[in-house]
Amino acid sequence: MNPSIEKLHHIAQKESRLIIGLMSGTSLDGLDVALCRFSGDGQNTEVELLAFETMPFEEGVKAEIRKVFAKKEVDFHHLCMLNPWIGNLHGQLVNECLKKWGRRAEEIDLIASHGQTVMHMPKRLHKNELFPNSTLQIGDADHLAREVGVITLSDFRQKHCAAGGEGAPLALYGDFLLFSSKQENRVLINIGGIANFTFLPSSGDFSKVFATDTGPGNTLIDAFTQKHFGKPYDENAKIARKGKVSKKFLEALLEHEYFSQPVPKTTGPELFNLHYLEMAIIKSSVNISNEDILQTLCHFTAQSLTHEIKRSVSLDSKTTLYLSGGGMHNPLLVELIKQELPQIAVEVMDKLGVSGDAKEAVLFAALANETLAGSGFISPGNPKEQFFMGKISLPL
């Protein structure tokens, strides 16, 4: 038997497994690397976050990714070369983390790699009946597996699409396994480039659990700050706080069919980008300062998120909201979210034992744990069918 397959079989049966979860999101700030210890599977899954790092991308790396990121037309040669290059790069960053943590590759059972999303094209966006929901993550996992010398699971979103979903938000599955509670209904909000939330009812009934993207998280705030203020993001909303909200511009931003479509739904910077922003400025025919624009963009993120929560979840005193993702460090955004949901307790994910910055990387590790040792998840297209996510790359 192939020794790697034998090893995989052994790992699946172990009492506990060391899994490294990797996430590189739409903000392109860096690679999130979470070292987790898992035991059990399904609703008996237990996770301990042993170490976490965000390994920042150098400017040159960001520039190479931006050449293809969410672009309708790209240099195909470049895309082809980026795929193995990012796989190797992620591998090197994992090796740096292992060194920092004083761990050897041989101790790690598995890597769960999300890769870098470069295009997300669900049917609701491409509107072409000939083609299915589609999404593309690059950073080839064979290269990553060889670079680190650890079996790697990757490309989780394809199976979700193949099974009838849009390929996101996959947070649904990990959130259900790791953070369900019998004591309270939970709304787990993640504000990355795109914002999303998962609703976990205290009944534990999976048929009532859902997750959806809600619109932009930080993506427009970041893109606008980069273009007009030459900074990667508006730290602590310092610039936005100098401006005031423009009602007309906000209304124009909120005027898109996406916001009235039923949940679950996904989106990305393919829709919410600087072009979208410029169109909204033209539509609202306002003459506002860059500071006003940033202030209004914070309102846009907060309102699209909270409107969707209010529309699709019946909120009561037994509901707590937990924040994760980089946007939870934006004090203005958090203030606005709280204002929109005055009756609901708002906490940070850290309260549930996993740091809000690490959550998404931990989630992919949880998906890998389930693929290896569990009985799978209920398929998005057929509630009677179980499905598993992730492809296997062997280092040898």
Ligand X SMILES: CC(=O)N[C@H]1[C@@H]2OC[C@@H](O2)[C@@H](O)[C@@H]1O[C@H](C)C(=O)O
- Does residue 21 bind ligand ATP (CB under 6 A)? no
Residue 139, Cα to own-chain centre: how many angstroms? 16
Applying the rule CB under 6 A, the residues between 235 and 264 that interact with ligand ATP are: 235-237
Please give the size of the binding site for ligand X, defined by CB under 6 A. 18
What does the per-residue mask of binding to ligand X show for 171-200, with x meaning CB under 6 A? x--------------------xxx-x----
Applying CB under 6 A, does 369 fall inside the site for ligand ATP?
Answer: no
Radius of gyration over alpha carbons of the chain, in Å? 20
d(CA 110, CA 150): 6
Residue 322, H or E segment: strand 319-324
Footprint on residues 142-201 left by ligand ATP (CB under 6 A): 190, 192-194
Q: Closer to ligand ATP by CB, 8 or 368: give it.
A: 368
Query: Which residue stretch of 57-65, 139-147, 163-171, 332-340 sits at the interface with ligand X (rule: CB under 6 A)?
Result: 163-171
Nearer to ligand ATP, 36 or 221 (CB): 221
Check residue 26 for interaction with ligand X (CB under 6 A). yes
Q: Is 215 annotated as a binding residue?
A: no
- Whole-number Å distance between alpha carbons of 148 and 261: 43
State in angstroms the smallest separation of the CB of 318 from ligand ATP: 27
Using CA atoms in the order 238, 241, 242, 243, what is the torsion angle rounded to 10 degrees? Answer: 130
The size of the interface with ligand ATP (CB under 6 A), counted in residues, is 23
> Can you tell me which of 266, 301, 304, 393 binds ligand X, judged by CB under 6 A?
266
From residue 1, alpha-carbon distances to 5, 69, 193 in Å are 7, 41, 44
Is 324 flagged in the annotation as binding? no
Q: Taking CB under 6 A as the criterion, which residues in 200-239 touch ligand ATP?
A: 217-218, 221-222, 233-237
CB 180 within 8 A of CB 43: yes
**Residue whose CB is less far from ligand ATP, 155 or 222:** 222
> Is residue 325 close enough to count as binding ligand ATP by CB under 6 A?
yes
Q: Is 98 annotated as a binding residue?
A: no
Q: What is the DSSP letter of 57?
A: P
Alpha helices, H only, 14-75: 59-66
Binding site partner of 53, from ligand ATP, ligand X, none, Cβ cut-off 5-8 A by kind: none
Please report how close the Cβ of residue 1 comes to ligand X at its closest, in angstroms: 34
Residue 30 assigned as binding residue: yes
Bridge partners of 215? 195
Work out which of 41, 234, 308, 360 binds ligand X, going by CB under 6 A.
360
Q: Whole-number minimum distance, CB 169 to ligand X, in Å?
A: 3
* Residue 31 assigned to a binding site: yes
For binding to ligand X (CB under 6 A), which residues are involved? Answer: 25-26, 117, 120, 135, 167-171, 192-194, 196, 213, 266, 268, 360
- Binding-site sequence positions: 25-32
For binding to ligand ATP (CB under 6 A), which residues are involved? Answer: 25-27, 29, 190, 192-194, 217-218, 221-222, 233-237, 325-327, 329-330, 360
